[in-house]
């Protein structure tokens, strides 16, 4: 779809313009398209961002993707993990958490392991089939609004006009900046590293499932299975990104995890900084924010992308009602509900997960593992815990917020 250029401020190109074709912008676009709402999507990248990022889809996210109608294709490419684990590396002791306990709370009582870029590509194709062609290579530089709509200035100074604008343009969001929203919070000192390898950790280590969070005397790490590859998430305790990703350092870690992994093929390495941030509001008039543009959290527990997809589903339902004539206050409710979940549930949970794993004291790790075992052995407490860690209770609490 070609951009209309230098249009007058009162005629809209589209009802909803989405900036950002990541998992959040594309989920919103597909939901709106299925509601028969006119939508356009632009992205500054030349294609879907295929860098290694999220790989876990939690049960309620899978319920939402089923509602979108694209779950079967995702399931075909992903790895179902019905039981995830916490494990102490040196002792090999572990505790299993069975998502089957959530069978009455979700239609998908498992985590689906699949790279986020596969979900994005699937949505780009599904949108094209509905006549919405995602416009790559188009960068937003500024957004200004008036009573009737939003004018988006693009790189090259072309403009685009929409009734509503969704900023799903990631952590450095230009749309958030254009609305002068503060992005307060913190950045953790130490860098983290995600690596991908065909080395099959579960064939060399006992009691490892497709999602296994590990304590060790050297530091925490996670082992995450995909259909053919594995990922290891490491916390090497260094500040800058390039030294965190040095091959020698990464190989020492692999050898520590299992000697046979020392020479394993490493197909990808992605060092990254961890943040905790949330905007004060997800709505400024006709400009709405979702996903990393509005909030960031530590990756522990795999909730960032999931939370963003939850934003997209909640926002599009509110927009649908507003476009059907209901009060715009529904969009403020969207902001209140999602801000509550992110700031009171998602960020504190991810940060507590990170803190719980941080100790290097093996005795303390074993004590914490024993606590987790007592929790897993108590069906009621375990179910409550799984409702929280699978992001279901936060969604339920948000529903009650007016």
Ligand X SMILES: Cc1cc2nc3c(=O)[nH]c(=O)nc-3n(C[C@H](O)[C@H](O)[C@H](O)COP(=O)(O)OP(=O)(O)OC[C@H]3O[C@@H](n4cnc5c(N)ncnc54)[C@H](O)[C@@H]3O)c2cc1C
Q: Which stretch binds ligand X (CB under 6 A): 13-21, 72-80, 317-325, 354-362?
A: 13-21
Contact between 395 and ligand X by CB under 6 A: the answer reads: no
CA distance 402 to 395: 13
Min dist. Cβ of residue 198 to ligand X (A) = 19
Query: By CB neighbour count within 10 A (0-12 exposed, 13-18 middle, 19+ buried), where does 259 fall?
Result: exposed
Q: Which stretch binds ligand X (CB under 6 A): 163-171, 244-252, 371-379, 391-399?
A: 163-171
Min dist. Cβ of residue 54 to ligand X (A) = 3
Considering beta carbons, is residue 173 or 337 the nearer one to ligand X? 173
Cα angle 384-388-390, degrees, rounded to a multiple of 5: 115
Instruction: Enter the DSSP assignment of 221.
Output: E
- Among candidate residues 189, 171, 350, 351, the one with its CA nearest the CA of residue 278: 171
Min dist. Cβ of residue 308 to ligand X (A) = 4
Min dist. Cβ of residue 45 to ligand X (A) = 4
Tell me which residues in 254-313 interact with ligand X (CB under 6 A).
Answer: 270, 272, 291-293, 299, 302-306, 308
Tell me which residues in 99-128 interact with ligand X (CB under 6 A).
Answer: 116
Contact between 335 and ligand X by CB under 6 A: the answer reads: no
Residue 202 Rama label (left phi>0; alpha psi -120 to 50; beta): alpha
Which two three-digit tokens encode residue 243? 């030294």
User: x/- site string to ligand X, residues 30 to 69, per CB under 6 A?
Assistant: ------------xxxx---x---xxxx-------------
Considering beta carbons, is residue 260 or 272 the nearer one to ligand X? 272
Considering beta carbons, is residue 272 or 366 the nearer one to ligand X? 272
Contact between 139 and ligand X by CB under 6 A: the answer reads: yes
Q: How many residues bind ligand X (CB under 6 A)?
A: 36
Scan for tokens 């303390």, then name that residue: 364
CA distance 387 to 99: 9
CA distance 179 to 11: 22
Q: Which positions ≥6 away from 107 have C-beta within 8 Å?
A: 62, 63, 66
- Asked if 294 and 172 count as a contact pair (C-beta separation under 8 A), the reply is no
Interacting residue ranges for ligand X, rule: CB under 6 A: 19-25, 42-45, 49, 53-56, 116, 139-140, 168-170, 174, 194, 270, 272, 291-293, 299, 302-306, 308
């Amino acid at each position: 779809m070609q951009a209309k250029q230098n249009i007058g401020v009162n005629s809209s190109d589209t009802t909803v313009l989405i900036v950002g074709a990541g998992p959040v912008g594309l989920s919103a676009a597909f939901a709106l398209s299925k509601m028969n709402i006119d939508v356009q999507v632009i992205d500054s990248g030349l294609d879907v961002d295929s860098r290694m990022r999220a790989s876990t889809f939690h049960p309620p996210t899978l319920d939402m993707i089923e509602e979108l109608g694209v779950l079967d294709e995702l399931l075909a490419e992903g790895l179902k993990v019905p039981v995830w684990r916490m494990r102490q590396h040196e002792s090999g002791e572990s505790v299993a958490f069975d998502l089957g306990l959530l069978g009455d709370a979700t239609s998908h009582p498992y985590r689906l392991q699949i790279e986020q870029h596969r979900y994005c590509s699937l949505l780009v194709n599904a949108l094209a089939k509905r006549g919405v062609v995602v416009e790559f290579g188009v960068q937003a530089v500024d957004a200004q609004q008036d009573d009737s709509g939003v004018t988006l200035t693009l790189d090259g100074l072309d403009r685009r006009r929409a009734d509503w604008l969704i900023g799903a343009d990631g952590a450095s969001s230009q749309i958030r900046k254009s609305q002068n929203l503060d992005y307060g919070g913190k950045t953790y000192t130490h860098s983290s590293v995600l690596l991908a390898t065909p080395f099959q950790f579960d064939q060399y280590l006992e009691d490892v499932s497709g999602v296994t969070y590990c304590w060790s005397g050297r530091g925490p790490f996670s082992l995450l299975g995909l259909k053919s590859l594995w990922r290891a998430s490491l916390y090497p305790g260094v500040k800058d990104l390039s030294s965190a990703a040095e091959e020698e350092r990464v190989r020492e870690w692999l050898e520590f995890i299992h000697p046979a992994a020392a020479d394993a093929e490493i197909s990808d390495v992605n060092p990254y900084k961890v943040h905790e941030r949330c905007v004060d509001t997800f709505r400024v008039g006709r400009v709405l924010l979702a996903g990393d543009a509005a909030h960031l959290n530590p990756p522990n527990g795999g909730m960032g992308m999931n939370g963003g997809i939850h934003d997209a589903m909640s926002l599009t339902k509110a927009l649908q009602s507003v476009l059907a004539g209901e009060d715009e206050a529904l969009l403020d409710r969207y902001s209140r509900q999602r801000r509550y979940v992110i700031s009171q549930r998602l960020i504190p949970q991810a940060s507590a997960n990170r803190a719980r794993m941080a100790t290097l004291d093996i005795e303390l790790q074993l004590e914490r593992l024993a606590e987790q075992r007592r929790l897993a052995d108590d069906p009621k407490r375990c179910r409550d815990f799984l409702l929280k860690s699978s992001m279901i209770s936060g969604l339920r609490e948000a529903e009650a917020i007016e």
